[in-house]
Each structure stands twice: as structure tokens, then as C-alpha cells.
Amino acid sequence: MHISLTNFAYIIGRWEGSGRAEYPTIVPRDYREELVFAVNGKDAAIHFEQRTWIKSADERNGEPLFWESGFLLDKGEGLFEMVSAQKSGRVEILRGGAQKTDETIIKLDLASVAILNDDRMIRAGRMLHFHGETLEYELWMSTTKNIAYQRHLVARLTHKGRP
């Protein structure tokens, strides 16, 4: 049985937590994150906005790090698409399937089908695991400076409330 966006209804609202960015071309860094999912009640889409800030013991603590906004779209028959516009100008379109094991556990596995406005990027993927009031995710990527497909981000967020 295929799942649809209606199965994602419980994720609507604000999520907060922290994560870690690591990649061969960057200095590893911890970050704080806020992720908001919203719907307009009409379209088969969930809007998301993700913002992160540096989490450190030095003067950079709280400095903005990353910002993206986009949509999770139901393409039918269990296929989903994530369209992401990032503050750098990069646009990613990722596509993949979802698995539902009960009312509050959904695993979403997405792979890039298009990456625009960033010649460094070769491939990207996101794995999101919603279980109850917790979201754990990983972001993997391959770039022109690091061809190997490697994990870049790992984070754990908790659901802080619905609108």
C-alpha cells in the first residue's frame, strides 16, 4: 500500500534540535536547527523552512549557517519529490520513496534528480526518519572536489508544536 502526504500530517509544526556537519572540504561543525513544516489546506504539498546556526563555545555561537525553503510534493504511487531553494542560490530537486511502519514512523529516502546554480555539486541525497516526536536525518553528497558519496550532515530534532 502506497503512502501519501496525508500520512505526513503529524509532522506539521516546528521541530528543533542539533546536528553536525562534516565533509572532507570543511572544518567539522556543530549546529542548532529549526525546521518548520506547514500546509495551506488546499495543495498536495508540504512547505518546509530550515534554518541553522553555529553551535560553539566561541564568538561564532549563534551565527547563521544555512537557510533553505521548499516543498515536499506527492507525485503519486508512493513517490515523493523535495524541491529546495537554498540561500546560496542552489536549487535541488530530490525524488524517492517512503516507508511507513505505523502511524508515527515514516522513512523518506530521496536522491537528487537535478542540482542547479552550483557547479560544485554532483549528487545529493537525504534520508529522513520520523518516529513519533523525533526526526533524525542525514544528508549525503558528492562534489567536484570530493567525488566519493559521503555523509555531510547528521541531525536529531524534536517536535515542539503545531500551529
CB burial readout 4-23, b (16+ within 10 A) else e: ebebbeebbebbebebebeb
pLDDT in tens, 80-119: 999 999 999 999 999 999 998 887 789 999 999 999 999 9
Domain locations in the chain?
Answer: 5-161
- Residue 87 one-letter amino acid: K
What pLDDT does residue 102 have? Answer: 81
pLDDT in tens, 37-75: 999 988 889 999 999 999 999 999 999 999 999 999 999
By the 8 A CB rule, do 55 and 37 touch? no
pTM over 0.85? The answer is yes
5-161: CATH topology is Lipocalin (2.40.128)
Residue whose entry in the numeric block shows the C-alpha cell 503512502: 3
Cα 130 off chain centre by: 12
Residues in the chain: 163
Sign of the dihedral defined by the CA atoms of residues 147, 150, 152, 158, in that order: positive
